[in-house]
Amino acid sequence: MAIFNRISRRHLLAEASGLFATAALVGRTGHCLAAESSSAKPQEMDLLNLSAVDAVNSMVHGELTAERYASALLARCEAGASLNAFITLEPQRVLEAARACDLKRRSGAALGLLHGLPIPVKDSINTADFPTTGGTPALRHFRPGEDAPVVHSLRAAGAIVLGKTNLHELSYGYTSNNHAYGAVHNPYDPTRNPGGSSGGTAAAIAYRMAPLGVAEDTEGSIRVPAALCGIAGFRPTTYRYSTKGAVPITPLFDQVGPHARSVADLLLFDSAVAGDTSPTRQTSLKGVRLGVVRSYWFTDLDPETERITEGALQKLRAAGVELIEGDLPELAKLVSLTTDQIQNHDVKPALTRYLAQYKAGVGFDTVLASASPDIRLIIGATLPGGSSFVSDAQYRAAVDVHLPALRSLYRDYFARAGVQAIVFPTTILPAPKIGAENTDVEVRGRKMAFDVAIARNIAPGSTAGLPGLVLPAGLSSDGLPVALEFDGPAGSDRALLQLGLGLEKVLGPLPGPKP
Residue 160 backbone dihedrals phi, psi, to 5 degrees: -115, 135
- For 413-439, the pLDDT digits (tens) are 999 999 999 999 999 999 999 999 999
Please give the backbone phi and psi of residue 224, each rounded to the nearest 5 degrees, phi first.
-65, -50
491: left (phi over 0), alpha (psi -120 to 50) or beta: left
Interacting residues of 236 by C-beta distance below 8 A, sequence separation 6+? 255, 257, 270, 274, 467, 493
pTM of this prediction exceeds 0.85: yes
Rounded Cα gap, residues 88 and 264, in angstroms = 28
DSSP class of residue 63?
A: S
| CA dist., res. 452 & res. 466, Å (int) | 20
pLDDT of residue 165: 99
Q: What is 289-332+394-507's CATH topology? A: Amidase signature (AS) enzymes (3.90.1300)
Say whether 197 is catalytic.
Answer: yes
Closest CA to 301 of 311, 293, 309: 309
Give the active site residue among 71, 122, 153, 176.
Answer: 122
Give the pLDDT confidence score for residue 41 in this predicted structure.
58
What pLDDT, on a 0 to 100 scale, did the predictor assign at position 241? 98
Catalytic annotation, pick one of 124, 176, 221, 476:
221
Q: What is the pLDDT of residues 117-163, one digit of tens each?
A: 999 999 999 999 999 999 999 999 999 999 999 999 999 999 999 99
CATH 3.90.1300.10 holds for 9-274: yes
Query: Within a 10 A sphere around the Cβ of 317, how many other Cβ atoms?
Result: 14
Active site residue 122: yes
pLDDT of residue 514: 87
Cis status, amide bond into 197, omega within 30 of 0: yes
What gap in Å lies between CA 281 and CA 500, rounded to an integer? Answer: 10
**The predicted structure's pLDDT at residue 439:** 92
Write down the pLDDT at residue 1: 39
- Distance in angstroms between the alpha carbons of the first and the last residue of the chain: 20
For the chain, what is the mean pLDDT?
92
Q: How far apart are CA 116 and CA 112, in angstroms?
A: 9
Two domains, one topology: 9-274 and 289-332+394-507: yes
pLDDT of residue 18: 35
- Low-confidence stretches of the chain (pLDDT < 70) are 1-42
Q: Which of 197, 262, 271, 476 is catalytic?
A: 197
**Where along the chain do its domains lie?**
9-274, 289-332+394-507
Q: Active-site residue 198, yes or no?
A: no
